Structure 1
Amino acid sequence: MRILVVSTPVGSLGSGQGGGVELTAFALVAGLLQRGHQLSVLAAEGSVLPPRCRQAELWLEAGVDQPSWQHRSRCSAVEIPASGLLPRFWRRALHRQADFAVILNLAYDWLPIWLTPHVATPIAHLISMGSVGEAMDGVIAEVAALHPDRFAFHTAAQAADFQLPGPPRLVGNGFDLGTYRFEPQPEPLLGWAGRIAPEKGLEDAAAVAAGLGLPLAVWGVRQDEAYAERVEASVPAGTLQWRGFLPTERLQAELGRCAVLLNTPKWNEAFGNVVVEAMACGVPVAAYARGGPAELVQPGVNGALARPDDLEALAEAVRVALGVDRAACRRWVERHWSQEAFAERIEVWLEAVASGITSPQPPGPA
């Protein structure tokens, strides 16, 4: 198939601003290329594709980043800034739609979902977050009632957030495991990775690390500088080691040295890429039993779970995770989350979308 992948309108690919969507985009593009498909990727100006994705055609658009839904209130209205990337992406996508069998949307936003019934070339949506806004919940429910096959989700916990007409299509995620080196001998170091923003719960990981007397290496884009400063001030000096945002090759080399990765989301995380990345390096995970990570962490096999927002339970989960076999963590990832297996699941879904709907009709008046 010829497939157009429309990227997130939050930051350029490779910047880290798009969070886990960037990693997902690279995995599915590389995997679909390996399976013989022709891909074009529409992304923000400044985007760079990794070498394994270079066979894809890269289309770039300049514009203003779209405000992210997870940083707004549940009752917020749909907002599109002047000169916004989102409408510019879709103006170009619709202008070129006839060149493709299917358009794969990675943006968690209202406009592309609303467009779905009104466009000749089928649009498929890989939903990257759980429920964070009433407007998004509403448009997903409305369009899913008409075209349930057009939506895929990472985990059952994520899909359960939405009003769907039937069982969801779950595709998980995928990783190029050749870029993750197994590290059998850790250092006395805990790890945490993600965007430095309140919904990620870094303060809980910092408090537990301080209580255990272990340093905490922190990787990620500092999206909220004031929040980062508050977290650092809440624990003894030297507890946090700020490592910044690193590309995958450098991140995995440092991440693998950790004894345990802490995962502390304050919201319903759709998947939890860094959880799998850590396990691919042999690092067990101590995580809150919330959202996608609660499905990924298998107690005793690759980590331990704790009651959400319970610091004592999280500290105990770290102690349990320290005893997990690191080789078992790597084996579990190899069985379930390879880039190849992910691309096959995406391919099956997109082929069904491309062949099953030829002339979608817009919904009638209410």
Structure 2
Amino acid sequence: MRICVIGPSRFPISEPFAGGLESHTHALILALKRRGHQVTLFAAPGSDPALGVEHLAVESFTMSETARQDVGAMPVEWMHEHHAYLALMLDLAQTATARFDAVLNVSIHHLPVAMSGLLGVPFFTTLHTPPVGWIESAVRISGSTGTFIAVSSHMRDAWADSVESTVILNGVDTDRLLPGPGGGAAFWSGRIVPEKGLDLAIAAAELAQVDLDIAGPIFDPEYFERSIRPRLGGRIRYLGHLEQATLFEHLGRASVTLVTPRWDEPYGLVAAESLAAGTPVAAFDRGALPQIIDERSGRLAARDDVPALAAALLEAARLPREGARERAVAFCSLERMVDEYEALLGGAQSERQEAA
């Protein structure tokens, strides 16, 4: 198939990944290309050239001085993204039928959804985020013109008032991410922002009296300086923003991985990666995490309950590592995810050919 992927414009699809969306997109595209599909990715400059990327014009629009004086003017970054996706969708409206068999939108922007009916080819949107106003509005207006994919049952249910969606769980490469020996410090990774709850993970590790290694990009410097940096040292160590190979090594050496969101995680890629490395997970019972973690692979604690998380951490660390690995292979594999995407996209292509 000739597949167009509309990616995020804010961060490039390249290592070290800004987050789970970028990591997911990278893995999915490479897997589709290995299976012989022709993939063209529209994403931010700096994205991995191996993906077959065409850059979105993220910063090519400059408002006139008159427009800037409008008291209702949107922020500059918002206008950059709006301009990039508007230009892309208008171009695809003219060229998609000749260039592509299907379009897969993994961006978190409303314009690809709102304008999907103009393209004349099967259009798919992966719902990576809970409902937000701009996207919800676009979904409700154009919901009948495309197929929606939820990254978990939790996401399907969250969007149910606006649109029906097919669940395709995110996957991790269990051939690349191999089991490690374990036995090391507890581990936490992700974007360092308040909603990811790193301060709660540190508090739980301190209460359990275990070492904790931390990895991830600092997206909120004020939060890091106020709530994280003063607690570093001794048992708590910050490793920086790591490339995937190094991140996977730390996951494999960890005794347990902490996943501590203050919000309902749409999926929880860190948890799936940890399981693939054979490392059990201790997490808050939120979002899709109960769908990923079972009794053999981890323990769940009541949301925001630090003493319960500390207890879950110690229990999870004692679980046999085979249970975590077996859960990842059976439930979280990249090959399973790509099989399901391929079947969904290919089915729409067959229906289109039959209708023609």
Task: Tell me what 1:12 maps to.
Answer: 12
Task: Tell me what 1:39 maps to.
Answer: 39
Deviations 1:342-364 (A, max 9, x none): 11100111123334468xxxxxx
Q: TM-score, normalised by structure 2?
A: 0.87
Distance in 1 separating the partners of 2:180 and 2:294:
20
Distance in 2 separating the partners of 1:5 and 1:344:
17
Distance in 1 separating the partners of 2:84 and 2:18:
13
1:76-225 alignment, distance < 5 Å: 80-82=78-80, 84-97=83-96, 98-131=98-131, 133-144=132-143, 146-147=144-145, 150-164=147-161, 168-187=165-184, 189-225=185-221
Deviations 1:55-74 (A, max 9, x none): x5221234249xxxxxxxxx
Instruction: Return 282-291 or 327-336, whichever deviates more.
Output: 327-336
- Which residue of 211, 214, 223 corresponds with 1:227? 223
Task: Tell me what 2:26 maps to.
Answer: 26
Change (3 A) 1:33 1:236: closer
Instruction: For structure 2, list consecutive stretches of 5 or more residues without a partner in the other structure.
Output: 61-73
Change (3 A) 1:19 1:166: closer
Change (3 A) 1:64 1:263: farther
Give the Å deviation of 1:18: 4.2
Q: Amino acid of the residue matched to residue 250 of structure 1?
A: T
Give the Å deviation of 1:118: 2.7
Deviations 1:305-343 (A, max 9, x none): 011111111111112101211122111111122222111
3-state SS, counterpart of residue 167 of structure 2? coil
- Which residue of 279, 293, 306 corresponds with 1:297? 293
Q: TM-score, normalised by structure 1?
A: 0.85
Q: Amino acid of the residue matched to residue 27 of structure 2?
A: A
Change (3 A) 1:59 1:134: closer
Change (3 A) 1:166 1:59: closer
Give the Å deviation of 1:48: 1.2
Asked whether the equivalents of residues 15 and 244 of structure 2 are also in contact (C-alpha less than 8 Å), the reply is no
Q: Amino acid of the residue matched to residue 319 of structure 1?
A: L
Asked whether the equivalents of residues 43 and 89 of structure 1 are also in contact (C-alpha less than 8 Å), the reply is no
Asked whether the equivalents of residues 182 and 279 of structure 2 are also in contact (C-alpha less than 8 Å), the reply is no
Task: Tell me what 2:313 maps to.
Answer: 318
Deviations 1:136-193 (A, max 9, x none): 223223333x24x510011011121113577530110122222213113421x11111
Give the Å deviation of 1:284: 0.4
Change (3 A) 1:141 1:166: closer
Task: Tell me what 2:336 maps to.
Answer: 341
Give me the identity figure in percent: 27
Distance in 2 separating the partners of 1:181 and 1:15:
19
1:256-335 alignment, distance < 5 Å: 256-299=252-295, 301-335=296-330
3-state SS, counterpart of residue 143 of structure 1? helix
Asked whether the equivalents of residues 194 and 221 of structure 1 are also in contact (C-alpha less than 8 Å), the reply is yes
Give the Å deviation of 1:42: 1.6
- Which residue of 242, 250, 254 corresponds with 2:250? 254
What is the count of residue pairs matched by the alignment? 338
Tell me the C-alpha RMSD between the 2 structures: 2.5
Asked whether the equivalents of residues 280 and 333 of structure 1 are also in contact (C-alpha less than 8 Å), the reply is yes
Instruction: Return 1-10 or 163-172, whichever deviates more.
Output: 163-172
Change (3 A) 1:93 1:15: farther
Change (3 A) 1:223 1:138: same
Distance in 1 separating the partners of 2:349 and 2:90:
21
Structure with the larger helix share: 2
Instruction: Return 319-328 or 279-288, whichever deviates more.
Output: 319-328
Task: Tell me what 2:345 maps to.
Answer: 350
Distance in 2 separating the partners of 1:178 and 1:96:
37
Task: Tell me what 1:68 maps to.
Answer: none
Q: Amino acid of the residue matched to residue 276 of structure 2?
A: A
Asked whether the equivalents of residues 285 and 302 of structure 1 are also in contact (C-alpha less than 8 Å), the reply is yes
Distance in 1 separating the partners of 2:92 and 2:27:
21
Distance in 2 separating the partners of 1:172 and 1:6:
19
Give the Å deviation of 1:130: 1.5
Asked whether the equivalents of residues 63 and 88 of structure 1 are also in contact (C-alpha less than 8 Å), the reply is no
